[in-house]
Amino acid sequence: MKVLSPMSQDDEDEIEAQQRMEHEGEGLGEGEHKDGEYNDLDKEKRKTKKWQRKVEAALVKMTAEMAALREQIETGRDWRVRRERSIGAWIGWLIWVTLRHFILDAVLLGLVLVWMRKRKDRRLEDLVRQAVRIGREYVRKLLPPR
C-alpha cells in the first residue's frame, strides 16, 4: 500500500537535511580538513549518516503506513460489529434458524415415512395427510378467493 504524503513535507525534509549537512561541514570542503587534506574517514562518516537518514526516513514512512493500516482494520471491525448487532441482522438470523429447523424436521419426517412405508405401516402417513389437509384449509381461509 502506498501512502501519499504532501509535497511540502518532503520538501521540508530535504531542506532540513541540507541544512544539517551545511552545519556539519561549515567552512570546509567535502572531506577536507583544516590542513587541506582529504580524509576517507570523513567521507565514510557522511555516507553512514546519509544512510542512517535514509533508513530513518524509511522507518518513519513505514510507521505511518502501519498506523494507516491499523486504522483501516479498526474501521472495518467497527463497521462489521455494528452491522452484526443491527435489528436486520437479528431478524435475518432468526429467519435462518427457523428455516433450518423446518428443513431438518422435513428431512427427518421424510426418512421416518420411507422407513415406515417399507415396513408397510401407514399410520404416520395418514397423520401427515391429515396435517397437510388442515394446513391447506387454513391457507384457504387466510388467502382471498380468486
- pLDDT tens per residue across all 146 residues of the chain: 555 555 455 566 777 777 777 776 655 444 445 554 556 777 777 888 888 889 999 999 999 999 999 999 998 888 888 888 888 888 999 999 999 999 999 999 999 989 988 888 888 889 889 999 999 999 998 888 77
The pLDDT of residue 93 is 92
Q: How many domains does the chain have?
A: 2
User: Is there a domain that residue 1 lies in?
Assistant: no
- Looking at residue 26, its pLDDT comes to 57
Looking at the fold, whether 107 and 67 belong to one and the same domain comes out as no
Same domain, 24 and 35: yes
- pLDDT, residue 11, reads 63
Residue 69 in contact with residue 1, Cβ under 8 Å? Answer: yes
Select from 128, 93, 122, 94 the least CA-distant residue to 108: 128
Same domain? 63 vs 112: no
Are both 80 and 117 inside the same structural domain? no
pTM of the model: 0.41
Q: Are residues 129 and 78 in the same domain?
A: no
pLDDT of residue 94: 94
Q: Do 56 and 111 lie in a common domain?
A: no
DSSP 8-state code for residue 2: P
Structural domain harbouring 126 = 87-142
Same domain, yes or no: 57 and 98: no
| Distance in angstroms (rounded) separating the CA atoms of residues 142 and 37 | 106
Same domain? 99 vs 77: no
pLDDT of residue 70: 93
Cα diameter, the chain: 116
In this structure, the answer to whether residues 92 and 61 fall within a common structural domain is: no
CA atoms within 13 A on the CB side of 97: 6
